[in-house]
Amino acid sequence: MKLDAILWDYDGTLVNSVPKNIAITKDIISVVAPHLSGENLPKYLLSETLYHEANHGAKNWQALYVDYYGLSHDEMLIAGGMWAEHQEKNQTAVALFDGMNTVVSQFAHLPHGICSQNSQLNIRGVLDSYGIGDLFKSVVGYDDVSNGHQKPHPFGGVKCVENIFGVDQANELCLMYIGDHEADTQFARNIEAALGKNAKVIAVAAGYSRSEPENWQTKPDYIANHVDDLLTIIGKYA
């Protein structure tokens, strides 16, 4: 089985964006739910360790905002709509995980794609700053997918694949999807189902992002506990 393309999640998979995400979340909460800012700031925004605990404990971003940060359902919906704009505005630096540039460059002969709930403009800016933007043939961001079709709904993944290969080619492919959330593994399964029985999507969990995939109910095909593990895992199929 030879890979046709590698699809990636962005935050927590390609880049360590925790400091930026904490800063953005604080900004959004101060607007949407000011009663939860200042001294009442949710404890999960007080350190990277606590943020990881909440981020990987929550089933999706909606649950993160309601169950961990304490926003109401309506506040959560407004907050979600502000995310892309704040991602573009906020200047907190994000960095590729150490060794990630090597991994992506090693498999430069394959097309890469990104399916993310970050903004496309933002992602492109970071990839270009590292000189690897050209390897990513499609970036599908938060603003490219309507609210009801965000991950783990397969819409963004199918769109990403069709952007790379065209609509007619999409259902005969062998793909890999790499992400740091249980919802990413579910997303990989959903993409495979949506593309049809001749498609294969191998799900890889980014364990190096402190995501504890061994505790997930939806099990990935592989766990990369270190960034370098991706060289071996992708290498089996490339």
Task: Give CA–CA dist 115/5, Å, rounded.
Answer: 13
139: pLDDT confidence band, cut at 50, 70 and 90?
very high
Neighbours of 215 (CB within 10 A): 9
| pLDDT of 22 above 90 | yes
Beta strands in the chain (DSSP E): 5-8, 15-16, 95-96, 112-115, 136-140, 174-179, 200-206, 222-224
Q: What does the pLDDT look like over 153-164, one tens digit per residue?
A: 999 999 999 999
What was the pLDDT predicted at 168? Answer: 78
Residue with tokens 């579910």: 186
Task: Give CA–CA dist 211/237, Å, rounded.
Answer: 24
170: pLDDT confidence band, cut at 50, 70 and 90?
low
Task: Give CA–CA dist 44/180, Å, rounded.
Answer: 18
Q: Identity (one letter) of the amino acid at 24?
A: I
169: pLDDT confidence band, cut at 50, 70 and 90?
confident
Quote the pTM value.
Answer: 0.89
Task: Kindly state the percentage of the chain with pLDDT values over 90.
Answer: 81
Q: What is the mean pLDDT of residues 126-131?
A: 96
What backbone torsions phi and psi does residue 73 show, to the nearest 5 degrees? Answer: -60, -45
Q: What does the pLDDT look like over 37-52, one tens digit per residue?
A: 999 999 999 999 999 9
Decide if 181 contacts 61 (C-beta within 8 A). Answer: no
Q: Identity (one letter) of the amino acid at 17?
A: S
